[in-house]
Amino acid sequence: INFIFFMEKIGLIIDSGADLPKEITEKNQIEVVPVKMYWPEVENLPGENIFQKMREAEKLGIKTFGKTSQPSLQDFLLAFKKQLSIFENIIYIGLSSKLSGTFNVAVQAKNFLGKDFQKRIFLIDSLNISTGQGLLVLKALALIKKNKTVNEIISEIKNNVNLTKTICLIVEPKWLEASGRISPFIANWIKRSAKIGIKPVIKIKNGLLKPAGAVFGVKEASESIFKIFEKETKELFHSGKKIKFAITHGDNEKEALRLKELIEKKSENAEMGFLNIINTVVGIVAGPDVLTLGWLEEQERKFS
């Protein structure tokens, strides 16, 4: 008896920076390459997640900071080979190359493989992280389900990279500053603003973290994020365009759900892609109670 194995057309690979819920990655056979963490001082502290452990570390006066390291070449090779055994072509959508060396390792791993494998692997730098990166993955999934070709999908995702917006409210900037993801200038701006009752918001711009604005006289993180979001999306909503949004948080689900409610009340044209707690490796540089919002205009492009 001759058995013919039919490969599925297009599969996806991400890294753990995307913060996608496990149910989405498992349901859609998305392979997740883990970014690594090293912080032995907190590993055995009580807590259900990294943020609870960080709070405990502060109570105990632990002064060290967690460190992240990019996946190994072998991590990506294993992920590529696994997905290539299932799919004809695979697309990796990685966290910003300007914030991590993870994407560069993926490039090296692809080049390490033979040409027959290389032509089936496509790499996209999201120039984003967490909600923004995750939304680009959801966009790719939607295009796969519409039976678009791999070249059409690559073109569409690259077109959406600069259209994907991510804003973030950081409660305590010391974690980001220690990791080198923000400058001492931005860290001091956040600290000074907080002292006088101003909530500063940062954003991803061209793959880097930059100031996005500040909100006066608002206590809740959700309200602060929403006000910046409202300003940024004013023209989109007035034109009746649909957007997809995602929310992630640093063990601050109450504020995350409140933000979701505020956005959904704002417009019927806003659809949530996912809401999730931030993963460990992003968490140790963002800190407890961080709140992140990403959004992407839902476009209908015609393919020739």
Edge-to-edge, what's the strand order for the sheet holding 198-205?
Answer: 208-216, 198-205, 165-169, 291-297, 243-249, 270-277
Residue the block writes with tokens 């696994």:
82
Could you give the CA distance from residue 174 to residue 195 in angstroms, rounded to a whole number? 15
- Residue among 248, 236, 261 at smallest CA distance from 292: 248
In the chain, how many H helices and how many E strands?
Answer: 14, 12
pLDDT in tens, 68-92: 999 999 999 999 999 999 999 999 9
pLDDT in tens, 78-136: 999 999 999 999 999 999 999 999 999 999 999 999 999 999 999 999 999 999 999 99
Q: Which residues of 34-57 are buried (b: 16+ CB within 10 A; e: fewer)?
A: ebebebeebeebeeeebbebbbeb
**Does an H or E element contain 22, and which?**
helix 22-27
- Residue among 161, 135, 176, 184 at smallest CA distance from 21: 135
Query: What pLDDT is attached to residue 196?
Result: 82
DSSP-assigned letter for residue 253: H
Token digits of residue 63: 């002064």
Query: What pLDDT is attached to residue 4?
Result: 42
- Predicted structure pTM score: 0.92
Lowest mean pLDDT among 17-21, 42-46, 217-221: 217-221
SS3 1: coil
